[in-house]
Structure 1
């Protein structure tokens, strides 16, 4: 399955690169068509999975609607955690609410990350099948001479970790999650662990892969800010 996803992503990356070469006569000195292809492909991929994010947003809105009932259960069974858990699960089931739906976008990101890792690991197999051609093209990105190698300056890995933290932090501040102990606990763990994991991984990844993650996170941050604003508005209307 991952091999198929890698081939699809590799072909898509090559398609964007070929399009840019044909569309623009001159390649910018500071940023290569290869780097721009990664950025454009990342934005398009994130937009493509937008329906998943919309589904997650609907799930969060449903959680906001259920919050008053959950608080009633928490007060009623505050001394009986087992019964509280059973009652909450029953409420979620009746409302068709999936408490783990918020993790789906992150899972999809990780699958794409692994698939892209395979593309950069074997570009001649998944994207630029002409090895000589791939070695001849520019792969610079501002301060980096070649995105095919690790970023020894640690700038991109640090940005990957920081933007991952911001994404997780904004998710934890979603009004729909306030008062949801299970969701809050999960979000707190992700806010701490994911940035550290991504930073550690990015130190050993090709810089192109780290660039993909940073750009993807920036798109996710924008989406999360919009989502939080929409949820906050709906919650305030419910209160009124």
Structure 2
């Protein structure tokens, strides 16, 4: 049974070994052609960074799908809450209605995990390839035996082997410092990326539902997982994951800034920037609702002057009403000559 599972795992990993090694060896060859030492640690470290950039560029379509799905999840949260109030007593009916809502809105609740899930096989193949190349000089894919030995002997800054980890450091304090720095950077970038999504690109009504609870859990759980597991990763693998996190953080910042979800802090910030840019170029600014302090005070109605009271004799003597109209002295007397005609 174990042999069978091993054969299945080998069939799955072999194509990944070829794909990952092809990209990394290509970067190594290119860097060697422009003057880098083929056996130097900086050459192999930059090759791993180049591999990361290629992988993340290939995953951009999945990242766009993740952003759209996350946005839809935020926008339908009020409807999800209504379903929870209506069918909270019937979990089966609630699940059916919720899935129906997901289908109608084109939302996939698992799309936010796609980039991470797609990277895990690549990450695992890189880990095994570098680990076995460093410890045994074993070739995988396009990483020949000579290249595997070159990587196994490579040292960053001249004295920090890329194959060592924070735990297995061979008494090298430099390895511990670099590994600790990369683990902290990996943990911090994971936390900041998730925090950026919640604070900038989630509307207020989406911060209290089950989706928000899921995001909060990821905010604190993922960094801890990476911190605990990172101490056992070789420095070469830590370079890959830290670079990937930096890419994710920058990519997400760009998307949130330029295409934020409606009703979020990032959306209102973009409106202000667009209004300021329009005013700078002489365009009509975006109409905004004035605040209480900016609302002009409404003009007070003019006070109507009341006429002075007059006695009956004064009114007869003056021949006019308080409003200035002619007052006939006799009710039977015509008002004008035209009336007698």
TM bucket (normalised to shorter chain) is: 0.7 to 0.9
Cα distance change, pair 19–2 in 1 and its aligned pair in 2 (3 A): same
**Residue aligned with 1:232, SS:** coil
Pairwise CA RMSD:
3.1
Aligned to 1:13: 24
State how many pairs are aligned: 235
Cα distance change, pair 3–187 in 1 and its aligned pair in 2 (3 A): farther
Contact 2:155 2:161 in 1 (8 A): yes
Cα distance change, pair 196–55 in 1 and its aligned pair in 2 (3 A): same
Mapped pair 1:217 → 2:245: yes
What is the CA distance between 1:200 and its match in structure 2? 1.8
Q: Distance in 2 between matches of 1:232 and 1:81?
A: 35
Contact 2:83 2:97 in 1 (8 A): yes
Moved more, 47-56 or 180-189: 180-189
Q: Distance in 1 between matches of 2:109 and 2:17?
A: 30
1:167-219, CA deviations, whole angstroms, 9 ceiling, x for partnerless residues? Answer: 23334443269247332222222222221221222211110000100000000
Cα distance change, pair 228–80 in 1 and its aligned pair in 2 (3 A): farther
Aligned to 1:175: 202
Contact 1:64 1:235 in 2 (8 A): no
Aligned to 2:221: 193
Q: Distance in 2 between matches of 1:144 and 1:104?
A: 38
Aligned to 1:162: 188
Moved more, 46-55 or 197-206: 197-206
What is the CA distance between 1:109 and its match in structure 2? 2.4
Compare CA radii of gyration and give the structure with the larger one.
2
Aligned to 2:46: 36
Q: Which runs of 5+ in 1 are unaligned?
A: none
Aligned to 2:139: 125
Mapped pair 1:77 → 2:86: yes
Cα distance change, pair 190–6 in 1 and its aligned pair in 2 (3 A): farther
Contact 1:6 1:115 in 2 (8 A): yes
Q: Distance in 1 between matches of 2:161 and 2:121?
A: 25
Aligned to 1:203: 231
**Residue aligned with 2:139, SS:** helix
Contact 1:35 1:139 in 2 (8 A): no
What is the CA distance between 1:59 and its match in structure 2? 1.5
Relative to the length of structure 2, the TM-score reads 0.60
Q: Distance in 1 between matches of 2:104 and 2:181?
A: 48
What is the CA distance between 1:160 and its match in structure 2? 1.7
Moved more, 201-210 or 133-142: 133-142
**Residue aligned with 1:148, SS:** coil
1:45-64, CA deviations, whole angstroms, 9 ceiling, x for partnerless residues? Answer: 11110000011122223334
Contact 1:162 1:195 in 2 (8 A): yes
Q: Which has the higher contact order (CA 8 A, sep 6+)?
A: 1
Q: Distance in 2 between matches of 1:135 and 1:187?
A: 43
Relative to the length of structure 1, the TM-score reads 0.82
